[in-house]
């Protein structure tokens, strides 16, 4: 096996035991990048020299017998909406194409503390708005499994680099499915943690009450390892959950322990949803059958508010983004129009030229939903439905340990297939969005291939702060699936 194909857990073990150096890991990953990045196009920036320097420093510390962090020497990629004090943080937007953040996000500080080696920043839909990476103003990213298909979005770059062995693990962000859906499309594991579990300090805001940073890995253990590095309380994020309420756990420690008496909920309203492709339905049914064989019980749960989640999300998310994105005014941050007529024009032309079509659409939608006279009819109503969605989950988790369903209704689609029809694109997230509205954790793991040979994802959701159990449930399937492939 080539170095870049190793699991993250194995790579760190080898680096720490001096069987391999961090430099070798970084060099192997960059050799792979040189080979496949021209076709995939997942990176917006790369930091080879800095990465090699960092790797040498970690190797020297290991050689000297000094203690090192849990990600010692591991090459890792980061979505380009997470602020780094080095290089640019573009958010896939012309608005921030040259923006250099003055500080590191909390998760970047934690990665550095864990001695990870950040090798580059990944492409994304502009300001994390989209499901295919096609909304990036800066680059086109292809699915590593088929160059004619999208990698999913908005964290498509982070999913693609892990799938293509151009990084061992990566970080993405998930507001309505942006970690899980690209994980599903690219055949990797992606975890959206409980809202408040991972600090959002330094994550460029899209919809603050929904945004959450999370890990991608090629397997469940690698994802758990990265979670160990990034989870925890941060007093700079007012929605970060105090560790007294949700103590930090070692997500790797009990990963191989199956969950006894596992009860899996399947949602009546999801099974009935039109638009679910047959091959996806078949794979998910097969996965459920495998859990049953392991002794799990399947219970049907009724979640009457689920059909409203897309509509609710597009009210809440657009309202919040219309407010969050007012800061891009041509003065404080980013792009400024070159020849403004007057000071009003600085604002309007900078925004008109700096933002792409989808971002503008959402700002307009959100501004409308929040405007006097419409606030009660749209925004307030959406908040009420959001509460009902949350209650649906609370009731469901009284009956089962987790809920399983497809991550996305179909496998990765072709470029251009949905770009002219935003509503069609929005339906990509039909199974992922309710999770963000409720704030619970959910994971996507590969569960087979579609009729087109493209990966399919199984989504598993569980109650607040039960990531540890969620990862164990995911691992149960992974083990059986690996064994049947042997």
Residue from 21, 122, 143, 178 touching ligand GLN (CB under 6 A): that is 178
Of 16 and 197, CB closest to ligand GLN: 197
Helix or strand holding residue 267 (H, E): strand 263-267
Q: Whole-number minimum distance, CB 101 to ligand GLN, in Å?
A: 19
Give me 181's structure tokens. 């859906």
Mind giving me the DSSP string for 234-298? -TTSTTPPPTTTS----TTTTTTSPPTT-EEEEEHHHHT-TT--HHHHHHHHHHHHHHHHTT-EE
Helix or strand holding residue 462 (H, E): strand 455-462
Residue from 73, 120, 130, 232 touching ligand GLN (CB under 6 A): that is 130
Give me 48's structure tokens. 């080879």
* 155 DSSP 8-state letter: S
The C-alpha atoms of residue 31 and residue 462 are separated, in whole angstroms, by 39
CB-CB contact of 94 with 100 (8 Å): no
Mind giving me the DSSP string for 55-81? HHHHHHHHHTT----TTTT-EEEEETT
Residue ranges in 204-223 that form contacts with ligand GLN under rule CB under 6 A: 206
Of 130 and 215, CB closest to ligand GLN: 130
134 contributes a contact to ligand GLN by CB under 6 A:
no
The C-alpha atoms of residue 356 and residue 368 are separated, in whole angstroms, by 19
Q: Which residue is nearest to ligand GLN (CB)?
A: 178
Residue ranges in 405-434 that form contacts with ligand GLN under rule CB under 6 A: 429
322 contributes a contact to ligand GLN by CB under 6 A:
no
Region from 94-102, 171-179, 387-395, 407-415 binding ligand GLN, contact rule CB under 6 A: 171-179
Nearest CA to 169 out of 114, 124, 219 is that of 219
441 contributes a contact to ligand GLN by CB under 6 A:
no
Residue from 15, 51, 264, 317 touching ligand GLN (CB under 6 A): that is 317
Q: Whole-number minimum distance, CB 41 to ligand GLN, in Å?
A: 20
128 contributes a contact to ligand GLN by CB under 6 A:
yes
Q: Whole-number minimum distance, CB 35 to ligand GLN, in Å?
A: 30
Residue from 177, 190, 217, 446 touching ligand GLN (CB under 6 A): that is 177
The C-alpha atoms of residue 195 and residue 188 are separated, in whole angstroms, by 22
Within 10 angstroms of residue 317's Cβ, the number of other Cβ atoms is: 26
3-state secondary structure of 287: helix
Region from 175-183, 247-255, 290-298, 395-403 binding ligand GLN, contact rule CB under 6 A: 175-183
Residue ranges in 142-161 that form contacts with ligand GLN under rule CB under 6 A: 154
How, if at all, do strands 169-173 and 213-217 pair?
Answer: antiparallel
Find where tokens 């090629």 sit: 218
175 contributes a contact to ligand GLN by CB under 6 A:
yes
Of 116 and 183, CB closest to ligand GLN: 183
Give me 444's structure tokens. 């996507």
Please give the positions annotated as active site.
79, 154, 178
443 contributes a contact to ligand GLN by CB under 6 A:
no
478 contributes a contact to ligand GLN by CB under 6 A:
no
CB-CB contact of 406 with 267 (8 Å): no
The site for ligand GLN (CB under 6 A) is made up of 128-131, 154, 174-178, 206, 317, 429
């Amino acid at each position: 096996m080539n170095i870049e194909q190793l699991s993250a857990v194995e790579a760190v073990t080898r680096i720490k035991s001096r069987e391999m150096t961090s430099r070798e890991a970084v060099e192997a990953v960059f050799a792979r990048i040189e080979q496949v990045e021209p076709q995939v196009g997942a990176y917006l920036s790369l930091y080879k020299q800095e990465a090699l320097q960092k790797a040498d420093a970690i190797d020297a510390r290991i050689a000297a017998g000094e203690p090192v962090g849990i990600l010692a020497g591991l090459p890792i990629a980061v979505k380009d909406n997470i602020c780094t004090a080095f290089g640019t943080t573009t958010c896939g937007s012309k608005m921030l194409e040259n923006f250099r953040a003055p500080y590191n996000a909390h998760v970047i500080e934690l990665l550095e503390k864990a001695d990870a080696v950040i090798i580059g920043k990944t492409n994304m839909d502009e300001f994390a708005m989209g499901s295919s990476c096609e909304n990036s103003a800066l680059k086109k990213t292809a699915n590593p499994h088929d160059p004619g298909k999208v990698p999913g979005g908005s964290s498509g770059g982070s999913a693609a680099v892990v799938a293509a062995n151009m990084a061992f693990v990566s970080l993405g962000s998930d507001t309505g499915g942006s970690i899980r859906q690209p994980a599903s499309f690219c055949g990797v594991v992606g975890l959206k943690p409980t809202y408040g579990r991972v600090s959002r300090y330094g994550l460029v805001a899209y919809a603050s009450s929904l945004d959450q940073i999370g890990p991608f890995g090629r397997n469940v253990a690698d994802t758990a390892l990265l979670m160990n590095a990034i989870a925890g309380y941060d007093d700079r994020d007012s929605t970060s959950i105090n560790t007294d309420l949700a103590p930090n756990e070692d997500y790797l420690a009990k990963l191989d322990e199956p969950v006894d008496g596992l009860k899996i909920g399947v949602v009546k309203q999801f099974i009935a949803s039109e638009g679910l492709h047959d091959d996806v339905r078949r794979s998910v049914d097969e996965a459920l059958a495998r859990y049953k064989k392991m002794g799990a019980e399947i219970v049907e749960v009724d979640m009457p508010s689920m059909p409203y989640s897309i509509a609710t999300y597009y009210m809440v998310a657009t309202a919040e983004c219309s407010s969050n994105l007012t800061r891009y005014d041509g003065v404080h941050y980013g792009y400024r129009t070159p020849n403004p007529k007057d000071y009003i024009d600085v604002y309007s032309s900078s925004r008109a030229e700096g933002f792409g079509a989808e971002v503008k659409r959402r700002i307009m939608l959100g501004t409308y939903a929040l405007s006097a006279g419409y606030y009660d009819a749209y925004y307030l109503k959406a908040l009420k439905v959001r509460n009902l969605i949350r209650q649906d989950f609370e009731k469901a988790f009284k009956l089962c340990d987790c809920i399983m369903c497809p991550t996305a209704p179909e496998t990765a689609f072709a470029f251009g297939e949905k770009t002219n029809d935003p509503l069609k694109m929005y339906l990509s997230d039909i199974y992922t969005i309710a999770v963000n509205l409720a704030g619970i954790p959910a994971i996507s793991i590969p569960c087979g291939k579609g009729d087109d040979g493209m990966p399919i994802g199984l989504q598993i959701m569980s109650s607040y702060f039960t990531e540890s159990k969620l990862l164990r449930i995911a691992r149960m399937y992974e083990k059986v699936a690996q064994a049947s492939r042997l």
